[in-house]
Structure 1
Amino acid sequence: MDHWMLNEMIHLLVVTTFCLCECGVLAQPPPPAQTVTVSVNGSAVLATTGAGLFSGNFDWHLNNEEPPAWDNCSINIMKINDTKTIYLASQLSPGHLRIGGSEGDVMIYDIGEHLPCKPGFCLSMDRWQQIVAFSQETDLKLVFGLNCMYGRANKSAQWDKRNSDAFLQYTAQHKLPVYGFEVCNEKQGQVHADVMADSYQDVHEMLVKYWPDVATRPKLIGPDENPNAGFLEEFLPLVADVIDAVTVHIYTGYGLDHNLPAQITTGQYLDKYQSTLAPLAKVINDKAPKAEIWIGETAAAWHSGQMNTTNTFLSGFWYLDALGTAANNNVQAFCRQTLIGGYYELLNRTTRDPNPDFYTGLLWNKLMGTKMLHVTSTVSRSSLRLYAACSAASFQAKTPGSVTVAFINIADTAFSASPASLVHRIDGKENLGTIEYHLIPGDGQMTLRTTQMMLNDKLLELDENNKLPAMDGLVRSGPVLIAPKSYGFVVVPDANADVCT
């Protein structure tokens, strides 16, 4: 499709009616595009995020939990050795693969003497070898959550560490590469902060014992808690000398809330991520300043998400906004719940085909670098939300100083922005070109609750060999036209931002 045809397509998106719900009821035609001025400060870094921000989780949930959400999705039995799953999971590299979830604190490791296992919750060493091999084949940093409730009778009881000790010893002796170990999963209400800190000190001693070389020693990560600044205030000073990354779980909505689809495209709903994360980040920076900040679990809704909502195009408004919010708060890893499993999965549990958020995460990795920049606009964030970064390394290598702006238009209005307004102009450049990545629903009706997504004029789907399509942007000049209820990215190669050169 040439530039004229794309312009005509975008024009049609602006002036035609839009289907704003899954039932097919049409809203009134949106008004003409509103001009917006955008300004990115290219002279100072707002925050620094991780190159592996796009990451994913596997869980332990059994088939009988909210069926069919978790059918054959427990990492204890999931099929992970097929080429399609390995290929698609590898696209998250250099991200993290976290093995966790509530049942991680029920799991028993089948090594040495141990208590009887509950059905489905006994990890054999053969399976452990397979999980590690998968992380190696996909080039993902493996993070594994240890069972901190083993033998613990109450909130103040000490942990029976023998099963985890045997597991860590086996892992070290067999030279299985693991990036990090977590301890406990959302147990801030079941274990006192000082008692949990004792368990972390225990694991630290094991890691030092079995991996004496600090260069190969796995990281100590946690406590994988639901948002609770008070718990972190107590816990972190007791482990600040040994913990490498502090993880929190953030779920904005509730999977059984029937109002969730309507909430996701509201500023009030999206603002919850910043209001939840900011106080936690402050405590982490104050109490454990040497530790990284991680989002250990996150999705648009907890309770396994919501079918036809958190696995559709609609989820992308939350996902891209949450990625931007996390990056602006110096978060180094953003572990999406889940890679496979539940109704918030990035890959369909049956077909392994990507859901829309998978493509959005890929584009984040491809386009957004690790230096976040301050961006403002003349439109309220209740309509248009923007995040800016020095472009990814592949762009910087060609045009140093390149800037990428991620946009989320939650309004029923189209916006038009001049490329020259996206950055402070250098040497009077007025006609900066752009490379644009517009994401819209792929069903042809602008139905937000669809599992299909288009990049510019192309439906995003695997080819006959189960390989990803080319995800190239459209090189243009002239105003950037952002369609209503859409999101995406705009790269300005010639921005010449000082901090990006």
Structure 2
Amino acid sequence: MLALLVGLSSIIGVSSNIYIDVTHSKIVHRIDYKFVGSILDCGMIKHNWGSFDFNSAKMLALAKEFGPSYLRVGGTDADYMVFTRNNNARHKRFILGPSTSGHPNFYIMASDWDKLNHFVQTVGWDLIYDLNIAPRKNGKWDPTNTIDLLKYTAEKGYKVYGLELGNEINISPQFHVSAAQSGQDFLALKRLLPTIHGLHIPKIFGPDVTNLDVVSFTESFLAHGGREAVDVVTFHHYYMGGSHASVLEYRSAHVLDSLKHKVDTAINTCKKYAPGKPVWLAETSVAWSSAPDNLNNQYVASFAWLDKLGISAQRGIKAVLRQTFYGGLISKSLDPNNDYWITCLYKRLVGDGVLSVSFGGDSHLRAYAHCTRVPSSHGYHKGSVTIILMNIGLNTMPVEIKGGHTQHLYMFSPGDSHGLKSESIKLNGHVLKIDSHNKFPNMPPVSHTGTVQVGPAAIGFIVLTDANHSACR
């Protein structure tokens, strides 16, 4: 099934023309309408949300612009978090006495839960919340605290889109929860939900494992109740540890391609043990810890991020949740980082129909194609095609595209003289930023016909406005 044909005659010096033909492409997958979501790390709750302000006009503007979206609230601290209706518990946020692992438990108060639910309602996001799997009774999950949270949720009329149970339990031996027992715990959660009067029944996501090179945990989880319990099968992925990352790794074809095996493993495991269930990449970024010189927020990191979206969609992942929204996609001073801008434009231009991509030649060209998103804030119509291109090499690549005459170009480049290490970004030569009134730039395209010169370090979207593609109508 060859949809996007790329021929390359030379990769020495300045590349010869690369030919992309989408005329006869086919849809190979469909992604979720809210394909790209984000995460708030629940560790913020134990610090009273830190400097995160739910009522900030700028924060609300940034979140609304990022929508529609899923918001996962989870992370390592999810398994130390205890719900309380006592809104006076703030002065004793850390519960006396150690948790199972010696890590201190802490409260999420009813007022915290209210703020979180009001926030997602205001910005139009869907909430996915990670429940604490650590409370045990006779080796099984003890749902007592979760029941109180769910009853409160029903009383307030909140609609939680999804629930998880535990975070990366496969690498958390301190909780003494086996894969088989975890599957049974999830099944207990599924059976619990209908018993809560007035509760809008959430979907269940799991098992939220990491390190899918070892699939035995997921297989056992699904075989021992997980298959019946979960609506969505989930895993996490990071390319590397940030403390040892380098600029070269962030644009390495070898590093980027390593995701393919992880995704294929997840998809194939799900097909075997839970056929028909969608697979989500429910926590991800480029690196799992802070990188030297803030590399994660520099232009070079955007190659890995956008390529991850391309690979995930192309190979059958239904949704991707980015770690993290606050302190990641946007800075703690509420300035959008480069990946925020790229993701916002992705959401505007990329539709749910994924067109297959196959080409030999220069691995420094990364290419993906989708039906264009419609209805579109940019006025595109059914039949249009959006191509995602990245040049991770050192040479300009002349690209000729067949399948549409008029091309709308959205080409990103570093925002200043720091190049790959720039913490700002340009679109078609203009630095992207929001003004003092929280007004966002329009991000218009450049209209073009003929060969597209994709320069070194270029990242871009090309919309074929008149493709009239049969698969996208």
Superposition TM-score, scaled by structure 2 size = 0.88
Q: Counterpart of 2:468 in structure 1: which amino acid?
A: N
Partner secondary structure for residue 300 of structure 1 = coil
In the TM superposition, what is the alpha-carbon distance from 1:446 to its structure 2 partner? 5.8
Equivalent-residue separation in structure 1 for 2:203 and 2:310 (angstroms):
25
- The aligned counterpart of 1:24 is none
8 A contact 1:40–1:375 mirrored in 2: no
CA distance 1:306–1:158, shift in 2 (3 Å): farther
Deviations along 1:444-471, one digit per CA (max 9) or x if unpaired, are x361111110001211111121222111
8 A contact 2:45–2:108 mirrored in 1: no
Deviates more, 1:264-273 or 1:109-118: 109-118
Q: Does 1:185 align with 2:171?
A: no
CA distance 1:319–1:331, shift in 2 (3 Å): same
Map 1:375-386 → 2, pairs under 5 A: 375-377=357-359, 379-380=361-362, 382-386=363-367
Q: Does 1:124 align with 2:109?
A: yes
8 A contact 1:299–1:305 mirrored in 2: no
- The aligned counterpart of 1:219 is 203
8 A contact 1:227–1:280 mirrored in 2: no
Q: Does 1:493 align with 2:461?
A: no
Equivalent-residue separation in structure 2 for 1:249 and 1:227 (angstroms):
8
Deviates more, 1:369-378 or 1:164-173: 369-378
Equivalent-residue separation in structure 2 for 1:262 and 1:233 (angstroms):
35
- The aligned counterpart of 1:321 is 307
Equivalent-residue separation in structure 1 for 2:288 and 2:187 (angstroms):
30
CA distance 1:82–1:120, shift in 2 (3 Å): farther
Partner secondary structure for residue 302 of structure 1 = coil
Deviations along 1:94-122, one digit per CA (max 9) or x if unpaired, are 21000000011001111489975876821
* Structure 1: gaps of 5 or more residues: 1-29, 65-71, 426-431
Equivalent-residue separation in structure 1 for 2:316 and 2:293 (angstroms):
31
CA distance 1:465–1:320, shift in 2 (3 Å): same
Equivalent-residue separation in structure 2 for 1:387 and 1:449 (angstroms):
25
For 1:474, which of 416, 422, 446 is the aligned residue?
Answer: 446
Equivalent-residue separation in structure 1 for 2:50 and 2:164 (angstroms):
18
Q: Counterpart of 2:233 in structure 1: which amino acid?
A: V
For 1:435, which of 386, 404, 408 is the aligned residue?
Answer: 408
CA distance 1:397–1:461, shift in 2 (3 Å): closer
Partner secondary structure for residue 354 of structure 1 = coil
Deviates more, 1:363-372 or 1:159-168: 159-168
Equivalent-residue separation in structure 1 for 2:145 and 2:95 (angstroms):
9
Q: Does 1:450 align with 2:422?
A: yes
- The aligned counterpart of 2:344 is 362
In the TM superposition, what is the alpha-carbon distance from 1:133 to its structure 2 partner? 0.4
8 A contact 2:131–2:164 mirrored in 1: yes
For 1:94, which of 42, 45, 68 is the aligned residue?
Answer: 68
Partner secondary structure for residue 371 of structure 2 = strand
Map 1:49-64 → 2, pairs under 5 A: 49-61=31-43
Partner secondary structure for residue 308 of structure 1 = helix
Superposition TM-score, scaled by structure 1 size = 0.83
Equivalent-residue separation in structure 1 for 2:82 and 2:96 (angstroms):
8
Q: Counterpart of 1:55 in structure 2: which amino acid?
A: G
- The aligned counterpart of 1:260 is 246
Equivalent-residue separation in structure 2 for 1:116 and 1:167 (angstroms):
21
In the TM superposition, what is the alpha-carbon distance from 1:243 to its structure 2 partner? 1.0
- The aligned counterpart of 1:19 is none
CA distance 1:117–1:89, shift in 2 (3 Å): farther
8 A contact 2:21–2:401 mirrored in 1: no
Quick check: which one's helix share is greater? 2
Q: Does 1:279 align with 2:260?
A: no
8 A contact 2:82–2:145 mirrored in 1: yes
Equivalent-residue separation in structure 2 for 1:466 and 1:110 (angstroms):
36
- The aligned counterpart of 2:238 is 251
Q: Counterpart of 1:490 in structure 2: which amino acid?
A: I
Deviates more, 1:383-392 or 1:45-54: 45-54
In the TM superposition, what is the alpha-carbon distance from 1:227 to its structure 2 partner? 2.8
* Structure 2: gaps of 5 or more residues: 1-11, 99-103
For 1:394, which of 364, 371, 375 is the aligned residue?
Answer: 375
In the TM superposition, what is the alpha-carbon distance from 1:289 to its structure 2 partner? 2.2
Q: Counterpart of 2:108 in structure 1: which amino acid?
A: L
Equivalent-residue separation in structure 1 for 2:41 and 2:23 (angstroms):
40
Map 1:110-259 → 2, pairs under 5 A: 110-111=84-85, 116=96, 121-151=106-136, 157-189=139-171, 190=173, 191-210=177-196, 216-228=200-212, 229-237=215-223, 238-257=225-244, 259=245
CA distance 1:385–1:186, shift in 2 (3 Å): same
CA distance 1:79–1:255, shift in 2 (3 Å): same
Q: Counterpart of 1:416 in structure 2: which amino acid?
A: P
In the TM superposition, what is the alpha-carbon distance from 1:436 to its structure 2 partner? 0.4
Equivalent-residue separation in structure 2 for 1:304 and 1:75 (angstroms):
20
8 A contact 2:286–2:304 mirrored in 1: yes
Q: Counterpart of 1:197 in structure 2: which amino acid?
A: G
In the TM superposition, what is the alpha-carbon distance from 1:35 to its structure 2 partner? 1.2
Deviates more, 1:364-373 or 1:117-126: 117-126
In the TM superposition, what is the alpha-carbon distance from 1:53 to its structure 2 partner? 1.6
Q: Does 1:464 align with 2:436?
A: yes
8 A contact 1:37–1:377 mirrored in 2: no
RMSD: 2.5
| Matched pairs, number | 443
Q: Counterpart of 2:184 in structure 1: which amino acid?
A: D
Partner secondary structure for residue 253 of structure 1 = coil
